[in-house]
Structure 1
Amino acid sequence: MLDEGTVNQTTQRYYSARSLFVTNMLSDAHSRVFSREAQDFLAALCDRFAERVSILMAQRVKYQDVIDTGIKPDFRQDTEYLRQSDWRIQGSVEDSLKDLQEITAAPKRHIITSALQTGSILFVADFEDSMTPVWERVLDGQLNLHDAIHSESYWSARQNNDALDVATGPTLFQCRVRGLHMTEKHVLWNGCAMPAALFDFAVYFYNNHRQLLENQCSPHFCLPKLQSYEEACWWSDVFHFTEQLFGLGNGTIKATVLVETLPAAFQMEEILFALKEHAVGLKFDIHDYIFSYIKTLKNHRDSVLPDGQAISLEAPFVNACCTLLAAICDKRGALAFTEPAGSYRPQQSEYFQSLESVGRDQKTRASTEQLLCPCSGPRTEQGMRQLIAVAIKHIEACLSDNGCKSQDESQAATVFTEMARVSIWQWIQHKQRLDNGSLITKALFRDYLSQEINIVRKQVGAVRFDQGRYCEAAYWFSEQVTSDQLSDFLSLNSYESLP
């Protein structure tokens, strides 16, 4: 049980006998969703699963070290029996998911309200790329989801298909937790920042599963940045433990896995098998996938890519992953999804509709060479400058706690900044040239950066520029691009500067 801790009418802070410590005071509103009982559940999860995350992250480092020596990714030999076995995911897939438009956005109250009024949708509450993980904002997001899911008028509208003036409308909720690589520094487990994925899962599940199940909806999660079969097994164990703890049937919890890393492309069947009791489907995200392709193959000169604008779904390595994903999902009874290209946009799934016949052809299997085959295209001065400008605006928005949203929302997603960072870094490292003949060097990058920061100043105005953190954002980006070692995620560094 949890100790009493400090409690008064305005703030609450709890201390757990299981070595769970909340570093910040909680408001009364936040205590509704991060209650003593929710913390007790979180402590139980940490006790069983937190240490395994460190092992999984160490396995990622070991895998990348091998790739950096010149070895290319490939299908695993030790799991070939799973790919050759005859199995399908268990439990029924919610057919309604096939017909819903998807909106992926930060779980802000006004966004949820607008989303629920648009009609039949799948609202993906994104705690990862669509918001800056400031402590108060994370808790606000959980509170907003709780209030929407527990709204009687919302469920009445679902049953009657009514259009109301409040946050209502027939929809399904999905919680996109943060990746396993991220931590929640405001909650310590045994003195260390705990896995952010566990925090997001525990708080959302504890507060909402009963209400969802009472209304014939599953607690549904979206799992980002997975790279391996072992990581999927970890999530399966978390789900099974939770279902047993709360007396729920096997497979009550549902999950959609984002295929957005190159290592995961070679283990999609293994990932589905590990989550076969809970999996709904696989979802492909082209922008995160391009970022992962560059980052994973950063030392491979034969895998350098052109401008991101020149990479489409028809690019060989992208097309091969989509084709393989569609075939696997059809074979294993799962759904195949595309990830919306931007935040807060309805999903466009025409590409996977065009792949329907491909997915039904069991002989259609992308090879290792196809999954790794890069695409050709230009590297332009305009494209490089655009990458720099996008990065400055986005990083500034995050540092200023604007929820990972620049004023130009089409360029707001975190992944675009990551693509810019790894692309320019790789061009510099491998001595690539722009189509105008200029050699891409650290000096050229710094020259463009200096010019672009002045252009941004003119665009936003002197007052907004001076009040903002644009110079700090430019410094952050420059440090990342000109470093001799490429860091895994920009968010891991910027997170430490957030309150």
Structure 2
Amino acid sequence: MTQQAISNDELVFLQAAGQDEQKILTDNAIQFLRELVEHFAPEREVLLASRQQTQRRIDAGGLPGFDKETASIRMENWKIRGIPDDLQKRRVEITGPVERKMIINALNADVDVFMADFEDSLAPSWQKIIEGQINLRDAVNGTISYTSNDGKIYQLQPDPAVLICRVRGLHLPEKHVLWRDKPVPGCLFDFALYFFHNVDRLLEKGSGPYFYLPKTESWQEAAWWNKVFSYAEDRFALLRGTIKATLLIETLPAVFQMDEILWNLRDHIVGLNCGRWDYIFSYIKTLKNHSDRVLPDRQSVTMDKGFLDAYSRLLIRTCHRRGAFAMGGMSALIPVKDPEHNRVVLERVSADKQREANNGHDGTWVAHPGLAQTAMEVFNRVLGDRKNQLDVNRADDATITASMLLEPCKGERTEEGMRANIRVALQYIEAWLNGNGCVPIYGLMEDAATAEISRTSIWQWIHHRKTLSNGKTVTPDLFRQMLAEELQVLLQELGESRFRQGRFDEASHLMETITTSPDLVSFLTLPGYRLLA
């Protein structure tokens, strides 16, 4: 589509207004978006700058920890405002991008909640973002349907799952809409349009405008969201607390501020979530200059490791003390056709969910409808007649300290693990550049977090000149050699036709650039976004 500038007050749209845009970018919706951007975009810039200041202190040798100045919030007894009836039971949640067929299948799955994702599982091209808003509006109205190329018709069944919308992270822009010559915040774009078009119908149905908030790094960012939500409620004459949010604790700085985050969002928050893959990515990124905290192979960093187990238990204890849900993490495994192999997959999923349920989590995530029954059986067995596990307070646990949350993780760094990281990251980045943010790779449903862990691990090994188990020192040249060799492996695995028609040259160049850069690139989706339409 040829770019053309269309001005609306202080917002400038860089894409022509086609039929799809006209359905969503109505005059009143744009006006609401403009108000949000005008009120809240400047403070977002301040918050992002504060992230950089915090990171510089850690890069210089400091470590994140609990803030003495906010100790009173952690020590005092208080509760969040409350949880709506249709969110009281969240034993299994399924996640996926805001694509039409995915939305229907997810809402029809044997789950309690579908998290429709504008973030890590979506490559945010303009077309995908606009279509996603249309798809969610149709889902809320109950009119969504999809006809496949072979004529199969997909429609909503009665009593679909509760819908929650995950907006983009604070750091991500929406480059197709400018305000004062800068891209507007992607999170405000997503929030404004979903809220504006769906709030009335959601409330009519006895539900509400529910959101997942990703990538939060501080309580100040939570306070910013509280102001956004309160503004929207006042603007539409809604009661305080109509908007409800679940916030992902998927960054290392945020794990030390969970009480403060809940407090600052207490009118609107209903729970926190263990976003464990992004949390591992954040552990690497935050502690990138600390040579004594370099992680081993990605495959060996599992939830039974000390720093991850402490994170899960602290989240449960903190949330339940405040009357908030403590949601478990993602099972990225996907079913396979071979019965014996599939049995192993389901056993692994069951064991993972059993650990979460026994720990006291109120629910968990799956990435595929085929895993929903297995996860649900585990939580049904543990919870019984209870809707949730808010009664599990873990008050008898030993105090979880900062050192436990920062504990180095033991394990080997292997050439096999490094090569696997390269292959997975290459395939994910290539798919993302083609507009697919949710990709099955080697039996796992991968999103951006996997590629982030893969490439930042290698960056950190290079940065600290770590040695692999076979004695090889990880250098830029070794990485480039392996990158070239693993491209040839993918050529053999995928076939020449698929490989040549793909964008593997661009994916390889992007991965090489960000993995060998002197400074760690904060998110691969930022340089990657420049390559999307």
Common fold: TM-score over 0.5: yes
Partner residue in 2 for 1:101: 92
Point out the more displaced range, 65-74 or 32-41.
32-41
Residue 24 of structure 1 deviates from its aligned partner by: 0.5
Distance 1:150 1:439 in 2: 57
Distance 1:165 1:455 in 2: 37
Distance 2:154 2:517 in 1: 52
Flag the 1:338–1:211 CA change in 2: closer, same or farther, 3 A: same
Residue 349 of structure 1 deviates from its aligned partner by: 4.4
Contact (CA 8 Å) 2:333, 2:445: kept in 1 or not? Answer: no
Residue 394 of structure 1 deviates from its aligned partner by: 0.7
Flag the 1:377–1:147 CA change in 2: closer, same or farther, 3 A: same
Check if 1:353 corresponds to 2:357. yes
Residue 30 of structure 1 deviates from its aligned partner by: 2.7
Partner residue in 1 for 2:465: 431
Map 1:21-100 → 2, pairs under 5 A:
21-94=12-85, 96-100=87-91
Distance 1:26 1:297 in 2: 44
Q: Give the residue type in structure 1 aligned to 2:311.
A: C
Partner residue in 2 for 1:497: 531
Contact (CA 8 Å) 1:262, 1:296: kept in 2 or not? Answer: yes
Q: Deviation string for 1:18-61 (max 9, x for gaps)?
A: x1111101222332122111110000101110111000000000
Distance 1:354 1:431 in 2: 40
Flag the 1:152–1:387 CA change in 2: closer, same or farther, 3 A: closer
Contact (CA 8 Å) 1:103, 1:344: kept in 2 or not? Answer: no
Match of 2:327 among 300, 320, 337: 337
Q: Deviation string for 1:352-387 (max 9, x for gaps)?
A: 321238733166431010010011011111111000
Partner residue in 2 for 1:468: 502
Partner of 1:451: helix, strand, or coil?
helix
Partner of 2:439: helix, strand, or coil?
coil
Partner of 1:202: helix, strand, or coil?
helix
Distance 2:173 2:394 in 1: 40
Partner residue in 2 for 1:320: 310
Distance 2:112 2:20 in 1: 28
Percent identical across equivalent pairs? 41
Point out the more displaced range, 52-61 or 401-410.
401-410
Partner of 1:446: helix, strand, or coil?
helix
Partner residue in 2 for 1:216: 206
Map 1:302-313 → 2, pairs under 5 A:
302-313=292-303
Partner residue in 1 for 2:444: 410
Q: Give the residue type in structure 1 aligned to 2:421.
A: L
Partner residue in 1 for 2:8: 16
Contact (CA 8 Å) 2:118, 2:129: kept in 1 or not? Answer: yes
Match of 2:413 among 379, 397, 401: 379
Partner of 2:230: helix, strand, or coil?
helix
Check if 1:368 corresponds to 2:360. no
Partner residue in 2 for 1:8: none
Flag the 1:409–1:150 CA change in 2: closer, same or farther, 3 A: farther
Partner of 1:188: helix, strand, or coil?
strand
Q: Give the residue type in structure 1 aligned to 2:417.
A: G
Distance 2:12 2:87 in 1: 41
Distance 1:131 1:92 in 2: 28
Partner of 1:52: helix, strand, or coil?
helix
Flag the 1:13–1:219 CA change in 2: closer, same or farther, 3 A: farther
Q: Deviation string for 1:129-168 (max 9, x for gaps)?
A: 11110001101011001011112699xxxxxxxxx96223
Q: Give the residue type in structure 2 aligned to 1:227.
A: E
Distance 2:28 2:443 in 1: 38
Distance 1:120 1:397 in 2: 27
Point out the more displaced range, 363-372 or 339-348.
339-348
Partner residue in 1 for 2:217: 227
Check if 1:254 corresponds to 2:244. yes
Flag the 1:343–1:41 CA change in 2: closer, same or farther, 3 A: farther
Q: Deviation string for 1:289-328 (max 9, x for gaps)?
A: 1100000000001111101110111111111111110100
Partner of 1:263: helix, strand, or coil?
helix
Contact (CA 8 Å) 1:232, 1:275: kept in 2 or not? Answer: yes
Partner residue in 2 for 1:299: 289
Match of 2:477 among 440, 443, 449: 443
Q: Deviation string for 1:162-207 (max 9, x for gaps)?
A: xx96223421000000000000011111111010000000010001
Check if 1:166 corresponds to 2:155. yes
Contact (CA 8 Å) 1:104, 1:343: kept in 2 or not? Answer: no
Partner of 2:155: helix, strand, or coil?
coil
Partner of 2:109: helix, strand, or coil?
coil
Flag the 1:12–1:28 CA change in 2: closer, same or farther, 3 A: farther
Distance 1:363 1:315 in 2: 17
Distance 1:237 1:329 in 2: 21
Check if 1:482 corresponds to 2:521. no
Q: Give the residue type in structure 2 aligned to 1:211.
A: R
Residue 208 of structure 1 deviates from its aligned partner by: 0.6
Flag the 1:385–1:326 CA change in 2: closer, same or farther, 3 A: same
Partner residue in 2 for 1:281: 271
Q: Give the residue type in structure 2 aligned to 1:291.
A: F
Contact (CA 8 Å) 2:278, 2:449: kept in 1 or not? Answer: yes
Map 1:74-153 → 2, pairs under 5 A:
74-94=65-85, 96-151=87-142
TM value normalised by structure 2 = 0.86
Please list every run of 5 or more consecutive structure 2 residues that lacks an aligned counterpart in the other structure.
Answer: 146-152, 336-348, 361-390
Q: Give the residue type in structure 2 aligned to 1:353.
A: A
Please list every run of 5 or more consecutive structure 1 residues that lacks an aligned counterpart in the other structure.
Answer: 1-10, 155-163
* Count of aligned pairs between the two proteins: 479
Q: CA RMSD in A?
A: 2.2
Residue 13 of structure 1 deviates from its aligned partner by: 8.1
Distance 2:428 2:505 in 1: 12
Partner of 1:438: helix, strand, or coil?
coil
Distance 2:229 2:355 in 1: 31
